[in-house]
Structures are given as structure tokens and as C-alpha cells.
Amino acid sequence: MSGELLFRARGLTKVYGTGTAQVVALRAVDLDLMAGEFVVILGPSGSGKSTLLNILGGLDVPSAGDVTFRDHVLTGASENALTQYRREHVGFVFQFYNLIPGLTALENVQLVTDLTRNDPHERGAEDPAEALRLVGLGDRLDFFPAQLSGGEQQRVAIARAVAKRPDVLLCDEPTGALDFETGILVLEALRRANRERGTSAVVITHNVGIAAMADRVLRMRSGAVIGTTVNAAPCEPADLSW
Ligand SMILES: Nc1ncnc2c1ncn2[C@@H]1O[C@H](COP(=O)(O)OP(=O)(O)OP(=O)(O)O)[C@@H](O)[C@H]1O
Ligand SMILES: [Mg+2]
């Protein structure tokens, strides 16, 4: 970790709806995330995990409070500025992989690196095949999504997110649709991207076991961060027992 502050959130509050339909999804959350950190967010369903991640990723805006990414103030930024922020700095990984069925693994990743390459703000996309090797899919470059297992498809999605060299990977239940063994391979891929590329990662999960591999664990309940644990010696994904 470089000691550089990546995200700083203060008093983040999100209220959905009005009147009796009102839901307070986030209640004055304060959060500092350092560059290079691998953070896991745990919490029961409805505790505000996705809401927090979406606000950090510029996919949603808070009702109150502030969030900054490095020296960019995200709160109140225009839709164009948020789009540019997402494109340049954030790699998203969701529960379902959203690969394009008619393109091979390599082409799915290339789609993103080609876009990045044509972006005047880009700072050099990664070689798509190299990104796939990073996630252990060097021997699956020419496979179509239908020819890949769920875990392999998710690793293509991670390669796609990594290949544009984001500063942070924001992952919402990346192992949610996978079994234990497969989930571990996905975690290994994320951890490698974090260690070898220095890419920060925020990973939402319901699985307490995953927390052991994080540098830091945030526990959420009812829209608040109710606890933070620092792992001085995070364990390797392969050593996890769920
Ligand atoms: N677009 C929306 N409109 C109204 N309420 C919403 C909306 N999105 C989320 N909520 C509510 O905000 C609360 C927090 O939702 P959020 O999706 O952040 O929870 P979560 O911790 O990610 O849950 P899960 O583990 O089930 O994914 C929930 O009570 C949810 O119903
Ligand atoms: Mg969620």
C-alpha cells in the first residue's frame, strides 16, 4: 500500500423514496480507502453495501455527504464527469458477468482495451491476453462464454475490468453465483490483480470466510459501518475455509 488516500467519504447518506415508502440505505457513513488496499465489505441483505459501492463508483449519487476520489470531488459532479471518472479509474465486477456471447474471451477483453486505447485520457491499456493470463485463463483465450464455466466467465470479467488499468476494482458479490472451489479461483484472480498491479479492490460479499484474505474488513448493518477490522497478515485465498 502506498499510503495515498484513494477515497474519502464523509457523512454519506442515501435516502430512497418518500413518505411511508422512504428507505434510508446509508446513514452518515465515513470511510477512508487507501491506494492498494484490498477491502471486503460484509453485512446482511439490505444493509447498504451495494448502495455504498455504487456511490464510490459514480453509478449513484448520495442524498447528503461528500465523497472524493483522490482530488476529484464526486459529489455534485456532472453526469459527464462521472462517466469519465468511471471510464478512467474504475473497474466494475458484478455477480453476473455480462460477457458478450458472440465474442471470445480475448475479444470480450479487447473490446474494452480498444475503447481505452482510443480514449485521449487513457494511460495505456494492458495487453488483453496478458490480463487473461493474470486471472489464469491463458489457455482459454479463444473460448466463447458458453464454453466457459461460471468461474471462468467471472475471471474473464475480472480480466476485462483489470485490462483498462483502473485504480480500483469495485466488486459486488463477485462469487455470489459460484460454488466454494470456483469462488476461490475468482478471489485468487482479484488478489493477484491487487498484488501484482497494485490495483485497489473493494469486494462485497455475504461470505464471512472471504474476509480473512482482506487487508481490511468493513461490517455494515442498517446503512451504517458498524465495525472495521485490519488483518495484519491476510491469508491466501487457497487457505480459506468457508
Ligand atoms: N433504487 C432503490 N429504490 C428504493 N430502495 C432501494 C433502492 N436501492 C436500494 N434500496 C433499498 O436500500 C437498502 C439498501 O440496499 P442495498 O442494495 O445497498 O443493500 P445490500 O447490502 O447491497 O443488500 P444485498 O446483500 O441484498 O445485495 C435496501 O433496504 C433496499 O431495499
Ligand atoms: Mg447488494
In the structure, what pLDDT confidence band is assigned to residue 241 with cuts at 50, 70 and 90? low
Residue 72 belongs to some domain of the structure: no
What pLDDT, in 10s, does the model give residues 65-123?
999 999 999 999 999 999 999 999 999 999 888 999 999 999 999 998 887 776 666 66
- Mean pLDDT of all residues belonging to the chain: 91
- CA of 121 from ligand 1 middle (Å) equals 33
**Beta carbons of 168 and 36 less than 8 angstroms apart:** no
Percent of the chain with pLDDT over 90: 70
Mean predicted confidence (pLDDT) in 178-187: 83
Is residue 48 in contact with ligand 1, taking CB distance under 6 Å? yes
Is residue 46 in contact with ligand 1, taking CB distance under 6 Å? yes
Nearest CA to ligand 1 atom 5: 16
Residue 20 belongs to some domain of the structure: no
- CA of 26 from ligand 2 middle (Å) equals 13
Mean predicted confidence (pLDDT) in 56-61: 96
- Supply the range of the domain harboring residue 163: 35-62+78-239
- CA of 183 from ligand 1 middle (Å) equals 24
Predicted confidence (pLDDT) at residue 52 exceeds the cutoff of 80: yes
Is residue 47 in contact with ligand 1, taking CB distance under 6 Å? yes
Residue 16 belongs to some domain of the structure: no
The pLDDT, as a whole number, for residue 180 is 82
Pocket probe for ligand 1: among 41, 51, 175, the residue whose CB has the most ligand atoms within 8 Å is: 51
Residue 115 belongs to some domain of the structure: yes
How many structural domains comprise the chain? Answer: 1
Percent of the chain with pLDDT over 70: 95
> Rounded to whole angstroms, how far apart are CA atoms 26 and 221?
9
Is residue 17 in contact with ligand 1, taking CB distance under 6 Å? yes
CATH of the domain at 46: 3.40.50.300
107-111, 192-196, 209-213, 215-219 — which is least confidently predicted? 209-213
Is residue 23 in contact with ligand 1, taking CB distance under 6 Å? yes
The pLDDT, as a whole number, for residue 37 is 95
Residue partners of 29: CB distance under 8 A and separation at least 6: 9, 11, 12, 13, 48, 52, 65, 223, 224, 225
Tell which residue, 137, 190, 188, has the closest CA to residue 168: 190
Pocket probe for ligand 1: among 16, 40, 202, 221, the residue whose CB has the most ligand atoms within 8 Å is: 16
**Beta carbons of 143 and 105 less than 8 angstroms apart:** yes
Residue 85 belongs to some domain of the structure: yes
Predicted confidence (pLDDT) at residue 233 exceeds the cutoff of 90: no
Residue 120 belongs to some domain of the structure: yes
The pLDDT, as a whole number, for residue 121 is 61
Predicted confidence (pLDDT) at residue 240 exceeds the cutoff of 90: no
Predicted confidence (pLDDT) at residue 236 exceeds the cutoff of 70: yes
Residue 21 belongs to some domain of the structure: no
Tell which residue, 135, 209, 154, 168, has the closest CA to residue 53: 168
